[in-house]
Chains A and B, each alone.
Chain A
Amino acid sequence: MGLLTPDPGLVFWSAITFGILVFILRRYAWKPILQAVKSREETIEYALAAAEQARVEVEDLNATKVQIMNEAKEERDKLIKDARELKKSMLDDAKTKAQQEADKIIASARLQIEREKNEAILQLKEKVAEFSVDIAGKLLEEELQTSDKQKAIIDKYLQEVNFN
């Protein structure tokens, strides 16, 4: 069968041709193409990794931001609370102090009043004593006249004395 008999001429030429083709393509096509593709793949891989890393970093950053914001919020709330408490305590203090002051003033006023009252009573007593001495003098003068009359005079003067 002619179809199944190799022809030395074609065997020779195809071996040479294929060899040359492999040589040329390896040098001028496969090497540059495969190298470029490989370097491109590496670039893409690197870029993807970098993007992933950047994404993780951004995520971290976001988490940190949220954390910081939460902390700030807590801090603010705490500050506000503290301020409120402080205000309340200051008010309370002020109130107590004012009360105490008022109480003190009132107490001292009372003391003053008491003292003045006592003084007044003392003076009154002195006055009463003076009056009594006067009355007694007068009585003694009256006694010298009638005892009834004396009695009536004493009553009369006593009635005239108003202790208040």
Chain B
Amino acid sequence: MQLIKKLLALIAALALTISVHANDQHQESTDAEFDPMEMIMHHIADAHEWHVISYTNKQGQEQHITIPLPVILIDDGLHIFMSSAFHHGETLVRKGEKYYKLYHGKIYVTDAEGTIEYNDHHEVINAQPIDFSITRNVASMWLSILLIIGLFTSAAKRYRGPPAVPKGLQSFLEPLILFVRDDIAYAQIDRHKADRFLPFLLTLFFFIWINNLIGLVPFFPGGSNLTGNISLTMVLALITFFVTNFSGTKSYWGHIFWMPGVPVPIRLLLSVIEFIGLFTKPFALMIRLLANITAGHIIILSLFSLIFVMKSAYVGFVSVPMALMMFMLELLVAVLQAYIFTLLSALFIGMAVESEEH
């Protein structure tokens, strides 16, 4: 309860920074063609502001309620300002000699008029500054780690003192922790070597799972597609790659580059295959998580888009039950993908630290 209160307080504090902004410059006509592709891409991509809700006020103006997030640019020095300065991409931000424009979620360097130039493939060719902004995904990730740290440190407090029967939060989390320990780590890695990797595997599992779940919450502060973002899955896969290969034993490297017990020509061939395998394993990890989570988001958003494409509320009678079914499935996928990612990481580590004898 304490934790939930703290989180609510945090969200309330964030909400105080909400900027209500009237989009009165380009009044979008209400019967403009609905573009599901754009809507979906907007939802699954990262953003520089945290969108809470949009509505049309009495004057027919579209209002966006968003939480501005800090923009950090490295482009001839460090520029830090709030994303509200862009006014949802309507105004340019001038820093020194340069003008920056927020265009489709990305920041470009433009001239004073904010001209965006395209090449033949309709790709933007304007220069991009190095963008270290606290984007929606980063903010959502920080929210998630606060939640995770809160959950597990408060559960950990209960373990002080003599052994006792688990209670409350502890009795919910402990079976999960034991599941990761016994059925993932101890099942894949030699028992006496597994303990070293347990903190990583446990953190990995709960980080992916909780972020998957946050991504499924359709309203603020959820809905960010963090675990469906290639940057995050790449980082996680790279960490698994480094942990695996930095703990590789002599026998592991021996099996990769000079497979014992096979003729020399095959050894050469195998070493090439195994070497490629070093990189395909984490690559598959990266793509699997990204694809599964993004696909779930796209399907659910598409089902809702149907209502607006067909321009009939009755489609909701089909879309809503189907989306509900997808949500149920996604709840399963959320834990399943966390499990698979952690299990495969443990499997790779287990192969790397395996002892000589077998």
Contacts and interface: CB of A to CB of B under 8 A. Distances in A.
A163 interface: no
Nearest to B160: A32
A9 B202 contact: no
A27 to B, nearest CB: 9
Contacts of B198: 30, 34
Interface stretch (B8-16, B231-239, B300-308, B348-356): B231-239
Contacts of B235: 11, 14-15, 18
A21 B132 contact: no
Contacts, number: 122
B135 A10 contact: yes
Contacts of B132: 8-9, 12-13
Contacts of A44: 163
B174 A22 contact: no
A6 B199 contact: no
B328 interface: no
B163 A40 contact: yes
A26 interface: yes
A9 B107 CA distance: 12
Given A8-B131, A13-B132, A18-B203, A25 B149 contact: yes
A37 B170 CA distance: 11
A34 B203 CA distance: 13
A4 B45 CA distance: 11
B177 interface: yes
A36 B159 contact: yes
Interface in A97-122: none
A14 B203 contact: no
A129 interface: no
B219 interface: no
A30 B202 contact: yes
B202 A17 contact: no
B137 interface: yes
A14 B230 CA distance: 11
A130 B126 CA distance: 190
Interface string B125-163: 000001111110110011001001100110110011001
Nearest to B131: A9
A-B interface, 5 closest residue pairs, ranked by CB to CB distance from nearest:
A36-B159, A29-B152, A10-B231, A26-B199, A40-B163
Interface of A: 2-15, 17-18, 20-22, 24-26, 28-37, 39-40, 43-44
28 contacts: A6-B230, A6-B231, A7-B231, A8-B130, A9-B130, A9-B135, A10-B46, A10-B135, A10-B231, A11-B234, A11-B235, A13-B141, A14-B137, A14-B235, A15-B235, A17-B145, A18-B207, A18-B235, A25-B199, A26-B203, A28-B152, A29-B156, A31-B199, A32-B156, A34-B198, A36-B160, A37-B178, A44-B163
Interface of B: 41, 44-46, 72, 130-135, 137-138, 141-142, 145, 148-149, 152-153, 155-156, 159-160, 163, 174, 177-178, 181, 195, 198-200, 202-203, 207, 229-232, 234-236, 238-239, 294
